[in-house]
Structure 1
Amino acid sequence: MITNPSPFRLRHHRGIDQTLSETRPMIGILADTHNHVKRTQAAVRVLQEQGAEVLVHCGDLASPEIVEICAVLPLYFVFGNHDADSAADLKQAAAQYGATCLEWGGQFEHRGKRIAVVHGHMTIDLRPLLESEPDYLLTGHTHTARDWQSGPTRRINPGALFRTSEPSVALLDVVADDVQFLRVDT
């Protein structure tokens, strides 16, 4: 079930008022699943229903099963502080399910936008990523949904699916530069 939690609002930027549609280039963003299988399945289902064409997991997957669940769409993911012991297994799952493992942080391009991804627990130095001025920097770790601008880079944390009273994910429309935070109920 999907609902918009009260602290999360659809944000419109640059004067564009777009409704969410499967024809828009949507990126589904999730983080901090901590091997919570049912909630991850619900989150992926919500993001698919809302038109995500790509998923980005911002770390703390905690098991290869989360890679399998998320790989129903093209998937990019990074390691989080709870992934150190399972990093080799997560890389193997990425190869098995056709996902892209960015290890402790990295970038990719989607629909002409540069997307940088880190977990946010300071294992990687953010300076090189930020100096390249990506359009977006996606993070996790804090278990708090947040959207803010840092110079030319928009930074988005989708919140968490574990250890939170309001499990959430984010849906990013890279054309309209809109982000919507979605509550995930199981």
Structure 2
Amino acid sequence: MGHLLGILSDSHDNVAAVEAAAEAFRVRGVLDVVHCGDVCEAEVLHLLAGFRVRVCLGNNDVARELARAAERIGGSFAPELDVEIGGRRFFVAHGDRWSQLDAAVRAGRHDYVLHGHTHVPRDEAVGRTRIINPGALYRAAAWTVAVLDLGTGALESLSVGR
């Protein structure tokens, strides 16, 4: 098993679902976690303490509060993320501005583009870029997150309650 990345989005203050996601990540040995936005109540991020957390801004988030909450758990925040994790390039945005995601995919500079917003899981390759939406932890048929093995590219979609 390689370096594992936990991916979640659209938690919308659902404490029980975030707790279940964090436990699923811990059990699998996840080190890094990316939240694709719509945390809503920023203090929910404390449930992800212990992981290397990166979070981007969702359309229901307050940037200043999210930045402070991320900093308190040793994580990082940006309106959108352009980061390297485990030797792979990622662009992460909430997904409420499709043109932003499309531009990142067309640029071809990233191995992965991660997003949320639709509350629907997605795993699609466009050119050399893989687009992943982990699903949602609120207003979804099933509450889902994803675990990506950065060594093999294997993606596991996990139902965490409901």
* Same fold? TM cut 0.5: yes
| Matched residue, 1:65 | 43
User: 2: distance between equivalents of 1:94 and 1:119?
Assistant: 16
| Matched residue, 1:134 | 110
Q: Secondary structure at the match of 2:32?
A: strand
Q: Is the 8 A contact 1:106 1:129 kept in 2?
A: no
User: 2: distance between equivalents of 1:66 and 1:132?
Assistant: 33
User: 1: distance between equivalents of 2:99 and 2:67?
Assistant: 18
User: 1: distance between equivalents of 2:14 and 2:6?
Assistant: 17
Q: Secondary structure at the match of 1:93?
A: helix
Q: Secondary structure at the match of 1:39?
A: helix
TM-score between the two structures when normalised by the length of structure 2: 0.93
Q: Is the 8 A contact 2:108 2:127 kept in 1?
A: no
User: 2: distance between equivalents of 1:64 and 1:124?
Assistant: 26
Say which one has the larger Rg: 1
The unaligned stretches of length 5 or more in structure 2 are none
Q: CA deviation at 1:34?
A: 0.2
Matched, 1:171 2:152: no
User: 2: distance between equivalents of 1:159 and 1:46?
Assistant: 15
The unaligned stretches of length 5 or more in structure 1 are 1-20
More relative contact order, 1 or 2 (CA 8 Å, 6+ apart)? 1
Q: Is the 8 A contact 1:54 1:75 kept in 2?
A: yes
AA of the residue aligned to 1:31: S
| Matched residue, 2:88 | 113
RMSD between aligned alpha carbons? 1.6
Instruction: List, as ranges, runs of 4+ consecutive aligned residues in structure 1 with deviation greater than 6 Å.
Output: none
Matched, 1:153 2:129: yes
| Matched residue, 1:97 | 73
Q: CA deviation at 1:115?
A: 1.3
Q: CA deviation at 1:53?
A: 0.9
Q: Secondary structure at the match of 1:142?
A: coil
Q: CA deviation at 1:71?
A: 2.8
Number of residue pairs the alignment of both structures matches: 161
